Copies of this chain bind each other. A is one copy, B any other.
Amino acid sequence: MSDVKGLELRTTVDADGWLTLDLAEVTHAAPADDELLVRVEAAPINPSDLGLLLGPADVSTLEEIGGGDRPALRFRIPPARLASVRARLGQSLPAGNEGAGTVIAAGAQGQDLIGRKVGMIGGAMFAEYRTIKRRDAVPLPEGASAADGAAMFVNPLTALAFVETTRREGHKAIVHTAAASNLGQMLQKICLADGIPLINIVRSAEQAAILREIGATHVLNSKDDDFRTRLADACAETGATIGFDAIGGGTLGSDILHAMEQAANRTAAAYSRYGSDTFKQLYIYGALDTAPTTLNRLAFGFQWSVSGFLLFPWLQKAGAEVVARMRQRIVDELTTTFASRYTATIGLREALTPDVLRAYERKATGEKYLIDPTR
Give how many copies assemble into the complex. 2
Interface string of A262-294 (1 = CB under 8 A from B): 000100100101110100000011010010111
Residues on B with C-beta less than 8 A from A61 are none
Residues on B with C-beta less than 8 A from A306 are 295, 305-307
Q: A274-B310, A292-B294 are in contact. List 19 more A-B contacts (CB 8 A).
A: A51-B273, A84-B298, A87-B265, A87-B271, A91-B271, A248-B297, A254-B292, A284-B297, A290-B298, A292-B295, A292-B297, A293-B294, A293-B295, A294-B295, A301-B310, A302-B308, A303-B308, A303-B313, A304-B307
A70, CB-defined interface residue at 8 Å: no
A192–B271 Cα distance when bound, in Å, is: 39
Distance in angstroms from A273 CB to nearest chain B CB is 5
Closest 8 CB pairs of A and B: A302-B308, A305-B307, A302-B310, A87-B271, A293-B295, A88-B271, A292-B294, A292-B296
Known contacts A52-B273, A87-B271; is-contact A308 B304 (Cβ 8 Å): yes
* A interface residues with partner B (beta carbon < 8 Å): 51-52, 55, 84-85, 87-88, 91, 93, 248, 254, 265, 268, 271, 273-275, 277, 284-285, 287, 290, 292-299, 301-310, 313
The interface residues of chain A, by DSSP majority, are classed as mixed
Identify which of A85, A271, A296, A309 gathers the most chain B CB atoms within 10 Å of its CB: A271
Known contacts A271-B88, A273-B52; is-contact A302 B297 (Cβ 8 Å): no
B52, B273, B304: the one contacting A88 at CB < 8 Å is B273
